[in-house]
Amino acid sequence: MFAAATIAAVVLASTTGEVLTAAAMKSIGDLDIIRAKSGMKGAIRAVLTSPLFFIGVFFLAVAFFSLLFALNHLNLSLVAPASASLTLVTNAVAGKIFLKENVDRRRWAAAVLVCVGVYLLAH
Amino acid sequence: MAQHRLLPRQYLILGLVAVCAPLGDSCLSRGMTAMPSISLAHPAGLIAAVFTPWIAAGIALLIGFFASYLTALSWADLTFVLPATAIGNVIVELLSKFWLHETISLERWAGVVLITLGVSFVAQGPALTQHPVPQLEESLSEEPVSTGVQPR
> pLDDT at residue A98 above 50?
yes
pLDDT grade, residue B145 (50/70/90)? very low
| Residue B139 within any structural domain of the chain | no
Domain that residue B109 falls in: 8-37+44-128
| Residue B137 within any structural domain of the chain | no
Partner B contacted by A20 (CB < 8 A): no
Tell me if A3 sits within 8 A of A74, measured CB to CB.
Answer: yes
Q: Between residues B21 and A48, which one has the greater pLDDT?
A: A48
Please give the pLDDT value at position B135.
Answer: 53
Please give the pLDDT value at position B24.
Answer: 87
pLDDT in tens, B5-21: 778 888 888 888 888 88
Please give the pLDDT value at position A57.
Answer: 93
User: What's the burial of B88, exposed, middle or buried (CB within 10 Å: 0-12/13-18/19+)?
Assistant: buried
Q: Is the dihedral of CA A12, A13, A19, A22 positive or negative?
A: negative
Buried b (16+ CB within 10 A) or exposed e, B30-57: bbbeebeebeeeeeebbeebeeeebbeb
Q: Is the dihedral of CA B109, B111, B112, B116 positive or negative?
A: positive
Q: CA B52, CA B58: separation in Å to the nearest integer? A: 10
Q: How far A106 CA sits from the closest chain B CA (Å)?
A: 6
pLDDT in tens, B47-106: 888 888 999 999 999 999 988 989 999 988 888 787 666 667 677 777 777 877 888 888
| Residue B12 within any structural domain of the chain | yes
Please give the pLDDT value at position A4.
Answer: 87
| Residue B54 within any structural domain of the chain | yes
| Residue B87 within any structural domain of the chain | yes
ipTM field: 0.78
Write out residues 85-114 of A within 8 Å (CB-CB) of B.
Answer: 85, 87-88, 91-92, 95-96, 98-104, 106-107, 109-114
> Which candidate in B114, B138, B139, B142 is best for mutational testing of the A interface (most A CBs within 10 A)?
B114
Please give the pLDDT value at position A49.
Answer: 92
Please give the pLDDT value at position B36.
Answer: 77
Please give the pLDDT value at position B31.
Answer: 87
| Residue B141 within any structural domain of the chain | no
Write out residues 30-49 of A within 8 Å (CB-CB) of B.
Answer: 30-32, 47
Q: CA B18, CA B68: separation in Å to the nearest integer? A: 10
Q: How far A86 CA sits from the closest chain B CA (Å)?
A: 10
> pLDDT at residue B144 above 50?
no
CB contact under 8 A, A27 and B119: no
Q: CA B104, CA B126: separation in Å to the nearest integer? A: 34
Q: Per the structure, how many domains does chain B have?
A: 1
Contacts (Cβ under 8 Å, ≥6 apart) of A22: A56, A95, A99, B73, B77, B78, B81
pLDDT grade, residue A9 (50/70/90)? very high
Please give the pLDDT value at position A123.
Answer: 59
Name the nearest CA neighbour of B96 among A81, A114, A83: A81
Angle between helices B53-73 and A2-28 (to 10 degrees): 50
| Residue B78 within any structural domain of the chain | yes
The H-assigned helical ranges of chain B are 8-33, 44-49, 53-73, 78-81, 86-98, 106-123, 135-140
| Residue B149 within any structural domain of the chain | no
Q: What global pTM score does this model have?
A: 0.71
pLDDT average, residue stretch A44-59 = 92
CB contact under 8 A, B28 and A67: yes
Strand, helix or coil for residue B148? coil
pLDDT in tens, B104-119: 888 888 888 887 787 7
pLDDT grade, residue B150 (50/70/90)? very low
> pLDDT at residue B136 above 90?
no
